[in-house]
Amino acid sequence: MTVESVRPEVPEVLELSVPPLAGGGVPVLGHGWKLARDPLAFFTQLRDHGDIVRLKLGPKTVYAVTTPALTGALALNPDYEIGGPLWESLEGLLGNKGVATANGPMHRRQRRTIQPAFRADIIPEYGPIMEEESRAFADRWEGGATVDCTSESFRVAVRMAARCLLRGRFMDERAERLSLALATVFRGMYQRMVIPAGPLYRLPLPSMRKFDRALADLHALVDEIIAERRASGQKPDDLLTALLEAKNDGGDPIDEQEIHDQVVAILTPGSETIASTIMWLLQVLTEHPEEADKVAAEVQSVVGDRPVGFDDVRKLSHTNNVVVEAMRLRPAVWILTRRAVTETELGGYRIPAGADIVYSPYAIQRDPRSYQEHLDFDPERWLPERSADIPKYAMRPFSVGNRKCPSDHFSMAQLTLVTATVASRWRFAQVPGSNDATRVGITLRPHGLRLKADPR
């Protein structure tokens, strides 16, 4: 489908109008106050005010898109590039030379460098590592002890990413450092996005110092990984070797900052989103034991008495649908932003050059106009005979176009294998002190999910 077929046609004689302004803004902060207090409810109700709505974040005007078709047009149209409040916030974490935040020729070159690591014929090579880490994750529930799902989900996500893509020895101590740093940094990034208070974030307050320490520790960890690889003299066929040997458009080696930013961009957002999704999957298996039983039965029908393996993943259709439905209702990436390169039209409205556009996959994926019983957890809605009625861009967890996540197949294999492994071995229950309410940051995850497990 072409961009033109997605973008609504507007007759040239029609004078484009300005989108309506959302209500509820307050002086100075605009809608940033509502976004900070209850962003999910705020984005969900915007659909009642139009396909595109203007927001005020401090002094800035931001355009919110509320329909699947227009999010597809936004993602596929080269008039909109990566930019806006989300990416400005993330540059403090990811830098401005990594594949996640770069645009134009640099982004295309970087995609060419990293894409081979995620080719369909390469991903099976990661199978043994995924199996080993999934089984180790399941083993840590042994004995009925209470498990902190935040730390354990980060550990399995980080270890899989590091061992598959960087081929380094990534000890538990480092995984723990990364998980703690990411949790602090991503919370602080969201605050900086919705309330752009600039110099106030440099005040020596305890929360600011904690954020700065976490960010410094994160970057120090990446420097350790790169330095260890250089010192080893080893050149395994992995992503880090590709980065260390990559050339810029002039044929020279890419600079140290780009190598650093690329490792950060590959290791941290992927680990954060995968870890958050694993937490939600554990919550789903606990809240919906009937679905956990169906996953366990499917695994049994496919593998019998042996452990589930990577090669079984494509046969586990219901397990895959459980993963997809969990991502629909509880997307880790719940907010995305773009910036207009030039003055353009979207949904019949004029979008000025330089304007920031924002949309929420969380709100899009819970829209009753796209989904029957939109708040029900129903994995069978993804059966072929039912999913055909879902609008095309109502569910795109890995985005589309030139910003499509290169690790989509890699990520789905991880998530399906982890889900199959734990559900086939354990039944879960929350313990006193567990809190599965949604915690909003740059990503969504449970506040503090704590579970115990009983053997099947």
Report the C-alpha gap between 237 and 20 in whole angstroms.
53
Q: How is residue 439 written in tokens?
A: 């915690």
What is the secondary structure of 100-134 as a DSSP string?
Answer: TT--HHHHHHHHHHHGGGG-TTTGGGGHHHHHHHH
> Residue 352: enclosing H or E segment and its boundaries?
none
- Percent pLDDT > 70 in the chain is 88
End-to-end CA distance of the chain, in Å? 47
- 240 or 3, which is more confident: 240
- Percent pLDDT > 90 in the chain is 47
- Range name among 194-208, 212-226, 436-450 with the lowest pLDDT average: 194-208
59 has pLDDT over 70 = yes
Q: What mean pLDDT do residues 423-438 have?
A: 95
Instruction: Look at residue 178 in the predicted model and tell me its pLDDT.
Output: 74
- 353 or 261, which is more confident: 353
Q: How confident is the model at residue 93 (pLDDT cuts 50, 70, 90)?
A: low
194 has pLDDT over 70 = no
In the numeric block, the tokens 């080269």 are attached to 78
Question: In 233-316, which residue ranges form alpha helices assigned H by DSSP?
Answer: 239-244, 256-287, 289-303
Q: Is 427 exposed, middle or buried (0-12, 13-18, 19+ CB in 10 A)?
A: middle
Report the DSSP pairing between strands 60-65 and 52-57: antiparallel
Q: What mean pLDDT do residues 303-313 have?
A: 95
pLDDT digits (tens, 9 = 90+) for 133-147: 999 999 988 877 899
Instruction: Look at residue 15 in the predicted model and tell me its pLDDT.
Output: 74
Q: Which residues pair with 82 in a beta bridge?
A: 338
Report the C-alpha gap between 92 and 193 in whole angstroms.
11
DSSP letter (8 states) at residue 369 = T
182 has pLDDT over 80 = no
- 176 or 114, which is more confident: 114
Beta strands in 113-195 (DSSP E): 147-148
pLDDT digits (tens, 9 = 90+) for 236-284: 878 888 888 888 888 888 888 888 888 888 777 778 899 999 999 999 9
DSSP letter (8 states) at residue 21 = B
- 236 or 131, which is more confident: 131
8 has pLDDT over 90 = no
Instruction: Return the SS3 of 445.
Output: strand
- 164 or 433, which is more confident: 433
- Range name among 63-72, 118-127, 293-302 with the lowest pLDDT average: 118-127
Q: Is 165 exposed, middle or buried (0-12, 13-18, 19+ CB in 10 A)?
A: buried
Residue 236 has φ and ψ, to the nearest 5°, of: -65, 160
Report the DSSP pairing between strands 147-148 and 450-455: antiparallel
Question: What rounded mean pLDDT belongs to the chain?
Answer: 86
363 has pLDDT over 60 = yes
